[in-house]
Amino acid sequence: MPNTTLAAAPPGAVAGRPPAFDNSYALLPEALFARLPPTPVSAPRLLRLNDALAAELGLDPAWLASPAGVAMLAGNHVPDGAEPIAQAYSGHQFGHFSPSLGDGRAILLGEVVTPAGERRDIQLKGSGPTPFSRRGDGRAALGPVLREYIVAEAMAALGIPTTRALAAVATGDHVFREHALPGAVLTRIAASHIRVGTFQYFAARRDAASLRALLDHAIARHDPAAADAENPALAFFEGVVARQASLVARWMLVGFIHGVMNTDNCAVSGETIDYGPCAFLDHYHPETVFSSIDHQGRYAFANQPAIAHWNLARLAEALLPLIGEDEAAAVEKAKAVLARFSPAFGAAWRAGLLAKVGLHDERPGDEELIQDLLARMAEQEADFTLAFRRLADAAEGDGEGFAVLFADPAAGRDWLARWQARIAADGVAPGARAAAMRAVNPAYIPRNHLVEEALAAAVQRDDLAPFEALLEVLARPFEDQPRRERYAEPPRPEQRVRATFCGT
């Protein structure tokens, strides 16, 4: 994936073509947002530009890397056609409702329509205070910006719906958290930034007109067929339920923990959004928590389906006035749709696990076999990613690499013998099975210790080489990459990351 890593282009460089904005959210009622420009920074410097994503969006990398482009990415210049706004939303944060959140450190510059006809938001994160900042400085530190860049692009390479990182720009200014840190701005691309909390904001205020306008906009953007349904609001809700069920299953199949599944971090588009205290499992355990602020384990790995269901119930509550005038009847209709989440998630999770262990058709006993594997992995502290990856090797006869991942290799060998007996019964060629397993079991994930290593080098030494090297590996997660074995290895005990932080 070609990318640009450089300082802002010198004066007189070829400027290229600026974005052609085509804004729709800014046409909605003013209650949905606040209009304001980003706050300029003192010395913008382009750290990384995602050339491939720029081309996908129909943007000109040459212009983005020019002084005018870097000024836009830093928030120092608002180009023609952009209509910068901070979006309003509410949110349940760790189960407690906050009626007024909104974009406290982000500005939606505008929208573009890609060559494929898809509408995408261009948002600047860390672009200064807004009316929703709640006494915050509206800025972002370099570490969290690079973390989001790494994990968002890794998720995209893994094939999981996600917001994307177009650029990272150093500001030349410091932000102050526990101590002074270098500042940065991330340019985030999204199918939209409409969240469950966006609907909650207007439902809580009983602003029926804004709620209806938001629904119509969301339907046009994400579920156009719902506009012709007998009950458009219910049809839209059905689409959100299906997307969230699929998304959370896909997270868990690669060992991802979002870390802060508040309703303001739940996008109705079905994209993963807001990479704060997120992390990937090293050794598997369903109760794993990384977020430093999740003291009760609300957002633990295994809790994610239940939390997604809870968040969707909050969306249903916000949509009730639009589902029907008879509240009791509307509740029953919404409950019927919400009840589809668990079966949909379960089907996606089971199908994904079958593929991960190389079973092409489900037979009696398969679910018990897989659940026994997960139980042994948890008890024996087997690495989640490597266990499934090395199981693909075992499909071709080499099972010892799998077994030694278990604290007691005998536990791995015992399970492996049962699995080998099962796969011998379906007649799939070993090479074909192994290839299919490697296509769904990544060799490389953004391992927490490698992410922290890259961030420390960038923040402490202004050294982006580890960041670049990690991104290059993660761009091809399903391919074995010679001489890059360390990127696939789990952390040594002293390297383990036990807590991640939101970065705000």
- Pairwise CA distance, residues 70 & 63, whole Å: 8
- The tally of CA atoms less than 13 A away on the side-chain side of residue 40 is 6
Biggest alpha carbon–alpha carbon distance for the chain: 69
Q: Phi and psi for 348 in degrees, rounded to 5?
A: -65, -40
What is the length of the chain? 504
Angle value at C-alpha 491, between 490 and 497, nearest 5 degrees = 120
Give every CB contact of residue 428 below 8 A, 6+ residues apart in sequence. Answer: 358, 360
Say whether 274 is catalytic: no
CA distances from 449 to 253, 257, 498 (A): 20, 15, 10
Asked whether the beta carbons of 470 and 486 are under 8 A apart, the reply is no
d(CA 1, CA 350): 32
Helices (H) and strands (E) in the chain, counts: 17, 12
Catalytic annotation, pick one of 51, 121, 264, 294: 264
**How far apart are alpha carbons 79 and 46 in whole angstroms?**
17
Looking at residue 443, the DSSP 8-state letter turns out to be: S
Work out the number of other CB atoms within 10 angstroms of the CB of residue 311.
23
DSSP reduced 3-state for 164: strand
User: Which letter, b or e, does each residue of 435-469 get, where b requires 16 or more Cβ atoms within 10 Å of its Cβ?
Assistant: ebbbebbbbbbbbbbbbbbbbebbbeeeebebbbe
DSSP string, 447-466: -HHHHHHHHHHHHHH---HH
Buried b / exposed e along 195-226 (16+ C-beta atoms within 10 A): bbbbbbbbbeeebeebbebbbbbbbebbbeeb
At residue 125, φ and ψ (nearest 5 deg) are -100, 130
Amino acid at 504: T
Whole-angstrom distance, CA of residue 276 vs CA of residue 266: 13
The set of catalytic residues is: 264
